[in-house]
Chains A and B, each alone.
Chain A
Amino acid sequence: MNKPLKRLMTAIALGWLSLVTAHPALAQATYPSKPVTLVNPLPAGGGVDIALRGLAKEMQPFMGRPVLVESRAGAGGTIAGQYVAQASPDGYVMGVFQSTQAIPEIYTAFQKPPYTSADIRPVVRYMTLVYAMPSRAGAEWKTLPELIEYAKKNPNKVRWGHTIGRGHPLHLLSYSLFKKYGIKVIEVPFKGAADAITSLLGGHIDVAFGISVTAIEGHVRAGKMSILAIHNPTRLASLPDVPTFAEQGADPGVVPVYNTIFVPKATPDAIVKRIHDAVKAALETPALKEYAAKNGFELYYGSEQDALAELTRDREVSSKLVEALLKE
């Protein structure tokens, strides 16, 4: 090998080494020095995706770098969860997780999850998606208590749609109602909310749970279905006549579907704080508030401590329900 080439090779090797072994502290000082990515565990075009795009846009000025949204859907979010859990802890890859990805060890009952909640760290909670329980038009009941009363008198008569597999938080909510009131219904599983909506419109099922309010608001206004209850602490501004579960004395006790930003466990505190501050600032902007109102999600700020408390509560409630479910 001739001399110049040898020198070139050495230079390349050194450059490579310095890049690979760059000290995290060095990276921290300039964070963020390149675009950051928010990983969406659910399919593009869904409710979470729409909400995230709004957040990313408003977050960008506070981060000073482009904020990208990336959908890595699959296996109910486990794929994205694993991706974030195993990403390098430098703050460039963040996951926006709900309970199934946040505490995979209790929700993936049949298959050992590839990571656990110990591998990731919550940064900030930013919104909840409001899920509704729609009922077919012209049903024998008008309210949730009436439905429960009807189901008690007529076991195995009410056709109850699930939009997601057994053991998912959205299914656990229905399940906890069945257990609490001792009712027996015909449980019909569907592959996603769209199929359940179609079946409701066609009158093939009576009620369903696990459909976001935005997906059915139009049908409700057109009188093709009604909403018996929403799973949210308060009523919605857009649907002031629709009561919550708790109002009707039928609080299922399940934690509402939160969306919290997670990073790999080993991410330094300074970076976590930087992301938290940017998200918090974005949540205060009028633009994001307007976007949220228009697209049917509730901005819902929570610090790392809030998020941790929520996780603990979720773990307590859901693990009991999952256990009971597995015994059946």
Chain B
Amino acid sequence: MVPGGVAFAVVWSAIGLAVCAGATTYGLGSLGQPQPGLFPFVVGAGIVLLATSEAIACWRAHAPSTRLRLGEHGSAVIVALAILCLYALAFERLGFAVCTLLLFVALFRALAGRGWRFSVAAGLLATVVFYVAFEYGLKVNLPRGPWGF
């Protein structure tokens, strides 16, 4: 089995190669007459070299040192990310107030394991506090939904 460290190092080298490839399209020039691609190319090459040596070192050490495996509550991470993405999607469409209420209810209910009643109450309270603080305290005009708030 391939040790985890090697796999990650290989991914880094691939990123480095992509950077180098991208950089060449902008032109490299020379050290005295650098073109836009020179600096990113050098950086990309640096990533490739370092990552390759890291891969070799991990391989030699035979250590399955680190592994990207989700922990006990791994699925909760995915749920959290999904909720955050939905918030970003809806933020300018539905407005700050509605989205924030939904965000709090979802996070309390789905991740903090609170009941519906608590989630809605706490969500409402938090939304009102933040709405007042930002809208009137800081005078930031946050996005409004089609219903005017």
Question: A residues near B, CB below 8 A?
Answer: 16, 19-20, 34-35, 37, 68, 70
Contact = CB atoms under 8 A, between A and B. Distances in A.
- Majority SS of interface residues in chain A? mixed
B74 interface: no
Given A16-B147, A19-B146, 8 more contacts: A16-B146, A19-B147, A20-B146, A34-B148, A35-B141, A37-B141, A68-B141, A70-B141
A251 B146 CA distance: 51
Interface of B: 141, 146-148
Nearest to A37: B141
Contacts of A20: 146
Contacts of B148: 34
A20 B145 CA distance: 11
A1 to B, nearest CB: 18
Contacts of B141: 35, 37, 68, 70
10 contacts: A16-B146, A16-B147, A19-B146, A19-B147, A20-B146, A34-B148, A35-B141, A37-B141, A68-B141, A70-B141
Nearest to A68: B141
A71 B116 CA distance: 39
A16 B141 CA distance: 23
Nearest to B147: A19
Contacts of A19: 146-147
A70 B141 CA distance: 9
Nearest to A35: B141
A88 to B, nearest CB: 11
Nearest to A70: B141
Nearest to B148: A34
A34 B144 CA distance: 12
A8 to B, nearest CB: 15
B76 to A, nearest CB: 32
Contacts of B146: 16, 19-20
A35 B141 CA distance: 11
Contacts of A16: 146-147
A252 to B, nearest CB: 27
A34 B147 CA distance: 13
Contacts of B147: 16, 19
A227 to B, nearest CB: 33
Nearest to B145: A19
A70 B140 CA distance: 10
B94 to A, nearest CB: 11
